[in-house]
Amino acid sequence: MSTIDTVAIGTNRYAPAGSAAINMYVMPDSGMMTIGQLVQAACMRSAAAHEAQSVLKMNQMTNGSTTLQQAAEWLGRIANGSAVWDQAKAFLVNTMGIEESVLPQDLSSYDRRMQAANALKNKMDVLTKSQQEDMIDLQTIVNRRDVAHSTASNVVRTLANSTTSNAANMG
């Protein structure tokens, strides 16, 4: 069962003479903030976390693309008979994770080359599908980051409008 971390927030009310009270929120290590500043800080923290996740996802996708490119090169060599079997087998087993039991003993015949090629194609299909799912995940992460930035921007705009409005009412 997962837990949710919570932070105690204290509230203080301040009211300049003749003005409406302002709520100030106190969080550990952050000092006193208005609700707008608190929301903005939370949005920026969320955006930064989503940015870090997107960088990790992009690195993961780059590695997957590199592996697919290498697999395509090996597929061509296996199919045309130019692959050295020991090297090809090492790539298929160690890099692609293909079970040794589904691979032929050698590449001496067309049928054996096709057996190895089909095993590699199947693994490439799985990796391609995974890459597509990773792209959707990346788009979701980037959209969430953009929403956090947009929300923070809207809070700043609202705070500025509120401050301007309050200043106009005082004068």
Is 169 a member of any domain?
A: no
pLDDT of 3 above 70: no
Q: 91-125 pLDDT, tens per residue?
A: 999 999 999 999 999 999 999 999 999 999 999 99
The pTM of the full predicted model, rounded to 2 decimals, is 0.68
Task: Provide the number of structural domains found in the chain.
Answer: 1
Residue 95 has a pLDDT of 96
Name the burial class of residue 80, with classes exposed (0-12), middle (13-18) and buried (19+) by CB atoms within 10 angstroms of its CB.
exposed
Is 111 a member of any domain?
A: yes
Question: What does the block give as tokens for 166?
Answer: 């309050």
| End-to-end C-alpha distance for the chain, whole angstroms | 56
- pLDDT class of 142 with cuts at 50, 70, 90: very high
Residue 24 has a pLDDT of 54
Is 57 a member of any domain?
A: yes
Is 63 a member of any domain?
A: yes
Residue 152 has a pLDDT of 82
Find the DSSP H helices in 7-109.
35-80, 85-90
Q: 26-81 pLDDT, tens per residue?
A: 555 556 666 677 777 778 888 888 899 999 999 999 999 999 999 999 999 999 99
Question: What does the block give as tokens for 23?
Answer: 């709520």
Is 164 a member of any domain?
A: no
Is 75 a member of any domain?
A: yes
Question: What does the block give as tokens for 8?
Answer: 């105690």
Domain of 118, in residue numbers: 10-151
Is 170 a member of any domain?
A: no
Mean pLDDT check: name the lowest of 17-26, 46-55, 154-163. 17-26
**Orientation angle between helical segments 110-170 and 35-80, nearest 10 degrees:** 170
- pLDDT class of 163 with cuts at 50, 70, 90: low
Mean pLDDT check: name the lowest of 47-51, 74-78, 135-139, 165-169. 165-169
